[in-house]
Structure 1
Amino acid sequence: MTLVYLLILAVVYVFLDFCLRKKLHTKMTKSYWRSFKGRRPLFITIEMVMLASFLVLIFVIPPAYTSVFMFLFLFLLYVLRGFEEWKFERKQKERYHSWFGATFFLFGTFILLMTDM
């Protein structure tokens, strides 16, 4: 049942992100994963530390909560990227999409926590 909730949430997210892109007149980038070109070294370093700590946590925590920590990691990653875009690239309205993605992962975390209990 958890998978069904997450799939519904993902479909709603894709639809609302498409509507937000139409309203803000922003285009989808060619690649979902951003390159590191043109990004601030501080933010790249923070992302790498977050990734390393997440990978360590995978082996330390019980397997039942790995998906919860994955969603929390992605939530923090999108918040950090949205902050970087807000701070340094205000003319591009990509920060709204990053923060919207962060709320998606936050709701996904709540769904995983509520259905696992």
Structure 2
Amino acid sequence: MDWYEELELKRAIRRLTMEFRMEAAAIRVRVALRRLVDWAEKGGFDPNQPRVPAGSSDGGQWTRAGSSEVDRIISIAQKLTFQAGPLSYDECLDLCYPLLERPQPRWSDRNMWDFHACMKICQGK
């Protein structure tokens, strides 16, 4: 192998190395963007979503606006508790369990929060 062929081989290796580095950088960028999108979706941030007023004990937290099923079940729990006193655990479980079965994104804790709120109201706590 003469010096010219050796020079061409070194150039080819350098070019391939740079191509691999650029491809690796592109993959890192795509992964970072995917993580950013996942994080944004997981946060579920919506600046237009209503919040509890600042003066209340839950002030600043997101509300369950538009959640008619939750409101309906919690309203039933409140009426039953008001009329007959706190219900038994099993009765509350029967009433509130459907809240856990609603379809939600895998990252959402909304069903669990609504279920616990319903159980507390139902048991008069």
Give the TM-score taking structure 1 as reference length. Answer: 0.28
Larger Rg: 2
Give the TM-score taking structure 2 as reference length. Answer: 0.27
Q: Which one has a larger percent helix, Structure 1 or Structure 2?
A: 1
